[in-house]
């Protein structure tokens, strides 16, 4: 696991650069939290290859991001108000329901096809290219490209019916 840490950290930094400004979590923090969760769950003894490690790491990162979003949306953390410059004004709540819809759709996809769900997590949460996913999963780029096309289509269909 320590050998893959640097690679995972670079990928998380690249992923977080694509996020909107004002995020309360950095790529380094995301990787550290994922690393701690993975160590807590049993360390590197259960992963025999990069595919298994990156699958577990992407799942941990996804859970961290979803948990943080849910925590932000609680009333205790200010869900009911949007921060504004003028103290006399109270703005409407900002709720990004897409994050929860994506999480729900990804859970459904995992129930139908765990390999496709892993591919989506590697692509979306870790930021792997299709070539990197093929290498991590020890399969061909063509196979991953076809799986990615199917997974994207499946998720788009599922999300369009939810939103």
Q: Residues 98, 66: contact at Cβ < 8 Å?
A: no
Token pair belonging to 129 = 């290219």
Residue 144 is predicted with a pLDDT of 94
Residue 108 is predicted with a pLDDT of 92
Residue 59 is predicted with a pLDDT of 83
Among 129, 134, 48, 151, smallest CA distance to 56 is for 48
Q: Give how many domains the chain has, as a whole number.
A: 1
Report the chain (163 residues): mean pLDDT per 10 consecutive residues.
Answer: 72 68 71 82 69 81 81 62 45 54 88 91 84 89 93 87 60
Q: Residues 117, 106: contact at Cβ < 8 Å?
A: yes
125 vs 112: CA distance, rounded Å: 20
Range of the domain at 115: 2-162
Q: Using only C-alpha atoms, what is the Rg of the chain?
A: 17
160 vs 162: CA distance, rounded Å: 5
- Region of 91 on the Ramachandran plot (φ > 0 left; ψ -120 to 50 alpha; else beta): beta
Residue 58 is predicted with a pLDDT of 81
């Amino acid at each position: 696991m320590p050998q893959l840490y640097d690679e995972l950290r670079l990928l998380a930094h690249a992923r977080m650069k694509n996020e909107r400004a004002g995020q309360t979590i950095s790529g380094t923090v995301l990787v550290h939290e994922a690393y701690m969760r993975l160590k807590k769950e049993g360390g590197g003894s259960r992963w025999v290859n990069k595919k298994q490690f990156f699958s577990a790491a992407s799942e941990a990162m996804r859970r961290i991001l979803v948990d943080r979003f849910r925590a932000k949306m609680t009333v205790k953390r200010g869900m009911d108000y949007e921060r504004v410059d003028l103290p006399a004004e109270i703005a409407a709540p900002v709720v990004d329901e897409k994050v929860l819809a994506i999480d729900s759709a990804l859970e459904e996809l995992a129930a139908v096809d765990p390999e496709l769900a892993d591919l989506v997590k590697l692509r979306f949460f870790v930021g792997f290219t299709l070539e990197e996913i093929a290498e991590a999963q020890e399969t061909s780029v063509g196979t991953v490209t076809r799986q990615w096309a199917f997974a994207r289509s499946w998720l788009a269909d599922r999300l369009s019916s939810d939103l």
